[in-house]
Amino acid sequence: MFNQFGSTADTLSKASAAVLRIGTDAHLYDDPEDVSIAPLLDSKFESEKCEALKRLLALIAQGFDVSNFFPQVVKNVASQSSEVKKLVYLYLLHYAEKRPNEALLSINYFQKDLGDPNPLVRAWALRTMAGIRLHVIAPLALAAVTKCARDPAVYVRKCAANALPKLNDLRLDEHAPAIEELVGILLNDLSPGVVGAAAAAFTSICPNNFELIGKNYKKLCEILPDVEEWGQILLIGSLLRYVVARHGLVRESLMLSLHGLESNGFCEKDGDKSDSFDANLVSLVSRCYIEGPDEYLSRSNNTVAASFDSKETTSVGDNEDVKILLQCTSPLLWSNNSAVVLAAAGVQWIMAPLEDVKKIVKPLLFLLRSSTASKYVVLCNILVFAKAVPSLFAPHFEDFFICSSDAYQVKAHKLEMLSLIATTSSISSILREFEDYIKDPDRIFAADTVAAIGLCAKRLPEIPTACLNGLLALVRQVDGEAGVLVQAVMSIQTIIEQDPLSHEKVIIQLFRSLDSVKVAAARASIIWMVGVYCSLGHIIPKMLTTITKYLAWSFKSEASETKLQVLNTTAKVLINAEVEDFQMLKKIVLYVLELGECDLNYDVRDRTRFLKKMLSYKLTCHEPADDSVASQENIAEHVVEHVFGRKLKPFSPLNLHNRFYLPGSLSQIVLHAAPGYEPLPKPCSFVFEEHDQLSDSDRKREATADLNGSHESSETVDEDGSSEYDSESYDGSEFSSDGDERNDANDAADPLIQISEVTVSTNQEELRSKMALDLWLDEESSTSNQTPSSLDTNQSSYAKISIGDIGSRVKPKSYTLLDPGNGSGLKIDYTFLSEVSTASPLHVCVEVLFQNSSTEPILEVNLEDEEAMKESDSAEQTLVGKANASYNNVPTLIPMEEISCIEPGQSAKRLIQVRFHHHLLPTRLSLHYNGKKVPVKLRPDLGYLVKPFSITIEEFLATESRLPGMFEYSRRCTFTDHVKDTRMENGKDKFLSICESITLKVLSNSNLHLVSVDLPVANTLEDATGLRLRFSSKILSSEIPLLITITVQGKCNEDLNLTVKINCEETVFGLNLLNRIANFLVEPSSSPS
């Protein structure tokens, strides 16, 4: 076509595809080359940045690794374009775990975006922060979620609920209570979308914390129909578990009905016996729902006698919670989502009264006709219902007829359903369907149909004759179809087992068809029946000699499984032989045993030897009751009776497929406990106190009180990630004249404690917390309503403790750079100094001690920067923030003066100035000595990456008030050094000793400025609670202020509980320094200070 224009079908299809791609981003997938991406990322036009980010995401979708663009992408997180922000966030989510250090650089931008006016930007920032699963930012992420949980935008609150499981996956136990509290807040939300996400978080984080459900139970039931479909599934499960845990099962429900259904109106009018109630199986199902199949079935006494206590049950008429649950789930039976229908049907199946269980039938049958993908799952659950109560689906047997388009698994389940719900009135229609199924080209499905016919005949004693005639005709007609033939024989065998004596002629017909049956498994089944029914009736015993001769004649040509069955059958026939046939049968058996001993199959040979030994007493005697072997016969006959007993054990349907799981669960499909599956809680295991169930207004007032910050809990971290502490406002100078007058009355020693006009205002603390809340929620501050007079009430005085000159007693900690074992006798230790570098603000002064522990002199010792000569943009260099932009040319290491020689046993000191590119990453240096070059790593100490910042207490408090919320974080630890202080035993001031111990510990591990030390005047002589030390500093690389407050709690002579709080805009640095301070405060000192 159109060949005259030079076009082909291939070119036309390509042209058509190109037209369809116009106006889309599909062209990005055609060019996997990323050569033009780097310039676009650095472009000043937002459209070009957006194009580059789209190309990167397209490469990620195609499986390319584009993590090398991470630094360039991270800097675009500050873009004002929402489209660029969204793409950057998607990129960061993908590579944050691979490049965690670089990802931390963007945390500050995420925090700023949390206050963006656009709710989409706030949601993207929260989702990305929660997706960066690093323990170091877990407190920040928790604070962000806490803020967004109260955001006015519904979408942001929903993202907060979705972020909670990600935080919980970090397994931080100290955050677990706060996370669960947030789940409760979100469950109380007014938006159905938020409630659905909160239900998912509840199921993932604390599925057994039923108190959260109990506080909002009625509200959750009312909002359930409006929740999104996948949230409805989880919420229905949580509500069901809560009702069972608090109230137990319903007495009128199916789970607790252990009698027939005739009195409950459950049976149909025709009174079919097949519609009877299977009490044993229902009891098994209910126990499996509560305890789990593994636990219940593992117990040896898994009998039906064990029933629920009456205290563990309730009634629908008396229980309002159960009634509300059933009412709110009933409309969901007709949901468009199949999983929602199954979840709602599960609630009705477990909790609804018997007369109301019928309402689940038609919705489930509708799913079979409406959704092809969910047919198999729905049928798996319907099978459980039908096994317990066949009458539920018996009138609707036509809905389970097979369609040609059904998958094989669906066909198999429908066959099982038809065999379960067949009644005397419907069996004729079902059998006619089965006749057509047997002709199906899928012979495996045809064989399953034959097996279903046998099950129907077993369940309905009125129809076995018609079924047997059809099955016998199959045995005679089918030739070469092993599956159908074997199932036909097994179905006949199942029918015969119910009443063997009345089916004697059927057994004889099977014996006569042996010659025409060629399938080994089918022949083995028929031969087995010869041995089992060899003494049945009057005709079969007379045929045994002829049948045994035939088996002996065909033994050589039989398959191995048939030979094994022939050996067993001949042994049974000989044991039950009549006197007149004994000699003939003995000769035949001996002949068969001789053939078996020479068989090629070792199983046949072993079975032959075993039977020959067992039947030795029969094979050696001439008469069945020979006196010479009477004693031996009694013993052997007893053994043979156990091995070849003619009594068959009754078949119990509970032995097969007796593992039941909650309806709609994955475990019910795979028939084992899938990961995350939990059975229903034990009935009435949860006691919910009514006084805990607050009204909505009470909860709002309580939440508002939490937000405003209570000054009473001064040592814990609140929901917003900030510690609740007592803020001080200083009026006057640090040293008051009152304090001097009081100290004049004491000894002539220098004053240690001075009483200052240091006051704490409760209202001012509330005001500050309110201002912080306003800042978080972008609300207008309400400080205009505060009057100066209202801030002067409820004040308490503080005493200022003067420590004096403590700098001379500070001993910085020493670290090992090189041990003598690796340095051929050269040992190098280094200590961080508090001196400020003269080279640049980025450098840290480090004192290095070189010691010669060998017997030979060490020559030409020097330290150099290993990467000074390399022109590579390492990942460490990209970590420098914008504040360092003006110092990019500053060298990493200021050249050190070389040490010409260190004699044995001698040492030498050098002062080096080092620039660390990141506060967590070591700097790589090269050590030169004796002509060798050894790489070493100089690790930074966070405490010395700051410099002292001298400020007054008023400036400290003013700066602290500007850094609330996410710029404030705290941690608790235990301090014990003061207990070892010998000066406390010599009558020295205990408070002064504690202050000196803490200050020495802090200043020996960090470069800080001590601002003030305060103690409440109202404290007793033994109580150090409220003692507070303040330190200030600035970060070297950015000149950003960093404030540290240490609050003491406890007795003077006991271990103290310290709360360390840091206020800083550089949140990542501040959090790492907080952990560093808490860790060295816990460490015991090597010697008393």
- DSSP calls for 636-692: HHHHHHHHS--PPPPP-GGGSS-----TT-HHHHHTS--TT---PPPTT-----GGG
What's the rounded mean pLDDT across residues 248-261?
A: 71
Between the alpha carbon of residue 934 and those of residues 186, 761, 1068, the distances in Å are 58, 60, 33
Least confident of 213-227, 764-778, 803-817: 764-778
Percent of the chain past pLDDT 90, that is, above it, reads: 16
pLDDT class of 10 with cuts at 50, 70, 90: low
Q: How many CB atoms lie within 10 A of CB 250?
A: 25
Backbone conformation region of residue 273, classed left if phi is above 0, alpha if psi is from -120 to 50, else beta: alpha
Between the alpha carbon of residue 114 and those of residues 122, 129, 186, the distances in Å are 5, 10, 18
pTM of the model: 0.60
Q: CA quadruple 313, 317, 321, 322: dihedral positive or negative?
A: positive
pLDDT class of 622 with cuts at 50, 70, 90: low
Least confident of 636-640, 754-758, 965-969: 754-758
Residue 1058 has pLDDT above 80, yes or no: yes
Q: What per-residue confidence (pLDDT) applies to 1086?
A: 59
User: Which of 293 and 1062 is assigned the larger pLDDT?
Assistant: 1062
pLDDT class of 189 with cuts at 50, 70, 90: very high
Highest mean pLDDT of the ranges 692-701, 848-857, 1012-1021: 848-857
Q: What per-residue confidence (pLDDT) applies to 180?
A: 92
Q: Convert 95-130 to b/e letters by CB count within 10 Å (16 or more is b).
A: bbeebebbbbbbbbbbbebbbbeebebbbbbbbbbb
Packing angle, helices 464-477 and 443-459, rounded to 10? 150
Residue 157 has pLDDT above 90, yes or no: yes
Burial of residue 788 (CB within 10 Å: 0-12, 13-18, 19+) is exposed
pLDDT digits (tens, 9 = 90+) for 629-681: 444 555 656 666 656 654 545 444 444 456 788 888 888 888 888 888 888 88
Q: In terms of Cα–Cα distance, which of 138, 139, 143 is closest to 115?
A: 143
Per-residue tokens: 333 = 């039976």
Q: What per-residue confidence (pLDDT) applies to 339?
A: 92
Beta strands at 907-915 and 946-948: parallel, antiparallel or unpaired = unpaired
What's the rounded mean pLDDT across residues 62-76?
A: 83
Percent of the chain past pLDDT 70, that is, above it, reads: 74
Q: In terms of Cα–Cα distance, which of 763, 773, 681 is closest to 965?
A: 773
What's the rounded mean pLDDT across residues 1021-1032?
A: 86
Torsion angles phi and psi, residue 425, rounded to 5: -85, -25
Q: What per-residue confidence (pLDDT) applies to 271?
A: 43
Residue in the structure block whose two tokens are 């009483």: 755
What's the rounded mean pLDDT across residues 528-537?
A: 83
Q: What per-residue confidence (pLDDT) applies to 30?
A: 62
What's the rounded mean pLDDT across residues 338-362?
A: 91
**Cα gap 719→761, rounded to integer Å:** 23
Q: What per-residue confidence (pLDDT) applies to 745?
A: 38
Q: What per-residue confidence (pLDDT) applies to 897?
A: 84
Which residue blocks in 133-277 are alpha helix, DSSP H? 138-148, 154-168, 176-187, 192-205, 210-215, 217-223, 229-247
Residue 518 has pLDDT above 70, yes or no: yes
Q: What per-residue confidence (pLDDT) applies to 542?
A: 83
| Distance, C-alpha 315 to centroid of its chain | 35
Q: What per-residue confidence (pLDDT) applies to 1084?
A: 77
Residue 17 has pLDDT above 60, yes or no: no
Q: What per-residue confidence (pLDDT) applies to 691?
A: 45
Q: Is 629 helix (H, G, I), strand (E, B) or coil?
A: helix
Between the alpha carbon of residue 110 and those of residues 105, 131, 147, the distances in Å are 10, 12, 13
Based on its alpha-carbon atoms, the radius of gyration of the chain, rounded to whole angstroms, reads 43
What's the rounded mean pLDDT across residues 576-601?
A: 85
pLDDT digits (tens, 9 = 90+) for 906-950: 889 888 888 887 777 888 888 888 888 888 888 888 888 898 999
pLDDT digits (tens, 9 = 90+) for 23-34: 466 666 666 565
Q: In terms of Cα–Cα distance, which of 463, 559, 550, 542 is closest to 515?
A: 550
Residue in the structure block whose two tokens are 């909160």: 198
Residue 896 has pLDDT above 80, yes or no: yes
What's the rounded mean pLDDT across residues 209-232?
A: 92
Q: What per-residue confidence (pLDDT) applies to 643?
A: 63
Per-residue tokens: 699 = 């909860």
Q: What per-residue confidence (pLDDT) applies to 818?
A: 87
Residue 793 has pLDDT above 60, yes or no: no
Q: CA quadruple 312, 317, 322, 326: dihedral positive or negative?
A: positive
pLDDT class of 75 with cuts at 50, 70, 90: confident
Least confident of 372-386, 969-983, 991-1005: 969-983
Looking at residue 794, the DSSP 8-state letter turns out to be S
**Cα gap 349→353, rounded to integer Å:** 9
pLDDT class of 296 with cuts at 50, 70, 90: low
Task: Report the mean per-residue pLDDT for the chain.
Answer: 76
pLDDT class of 1088 with cuts at 50, 70, 90: very low
Q: What per-residue confidence (pLDDT) applies to 804?
A: 64
CB-CB contact of 360 with 349 (8 Å): yes
What's the rounded mean pLDDT across residues 307-332?
A: 83
What's the rounded mean pLDDT across residues 990-1010?
A: 86
Residue 393 has pLDDT above 70, yes or no: yes
User: Which of 333 and 270 is assigned the larger pLDDT?
Assistant: 333
Per-residue tokens: 241 = 């578990």
User: Which of 545 and 278 is assigned the larger pLDDT?
Assistant: 545
Beta strands at 249-250 and 313-314: parallel, antiparallel or unpaired = parallel
Residue 988 has pLDDT above 70, yes or no: no
CB-CB contact of 524 with 554 (8 Å): no
**Cα gap 1089→1083, rounded to integer Å:** 14
Torsion angles phi and psi, residue 271, rounded to 5: 65, 35
**Alpha-carbon torsion angle 536, 540, 546, 550, nearest 10:** -70
pLDDT class of 895 with cuts at 50, 70, 90: confident
What's the rounded mean pLDDT across residues 541-547?
A: 85
Q: What per-residue confidence (pLDDT) applies to 340?
A: 94
Contacts of 848 (CB under 8 A, 6+ apart): 817, 828, 829, 830, 863, 896, 909, 910, 911, 912
Q: What per-residue confidence (pLDDT) applies to 1042?
A: 92
Contacts of 613 (CB under 8 A, 6+ apart): none
Q: What per-residue confidence (pLDDT) applies to 890?
A: 64
What's the rounded mean pLDDT across residues 527-538?
A: 83
Q: How many CB atoms lie within 10 A of CB 606?
A: 12
User: Which of 1053 and 24 is assigned the larger pLDDT?
Assistant: 1053
Highest mean pLDDT of the ranges 69-73, 369-373, 1058-1062, 1077-1081: 1058-1062
Least confident of 806-815, 818-827, 1069-1078: 806-815
Q: What per-residue confidence (pLDDT) applies to 187?
A: 93
Q: Where are the beta strands (DSSP E) in 234-372?
A: 249-250, 313-314
Residue 871 has pLDDT above 50, yes or no: no
Least confident of 414-418, 577-581, 701-705, 962-966: 701-705
pLDDT class of 1061 with cuts at 50, 70, 90: very high
Residue 867 has pLDDT above 70, yes or no: no
pLDDT class of 889 with cuts at 50, 70, 90: low
Q: CA quadruple 638, 642, 648, 654: dihedral positive or negative?
A: positive
User: Which of 736 and 50 is assigned the larger pLDDT?
Assistant: 50
Q: Where are the beta strands (DSSP E) in 770-813?
A: 795-801
pLDDT digits (tens, 9 = 90+) for 474-487: 887 766 578 888 88
pLDDT class of 76 with cuts at 50, 70, 90: confident
Q: What per-residue confidence (pLDDT) applies to 801?
A: 67
Contacts of 774 (CB under 8 A, 6+ apart): 780, 781, 782
Q: What per-residue confidence (pLDDT) applies to 32?
A: 53
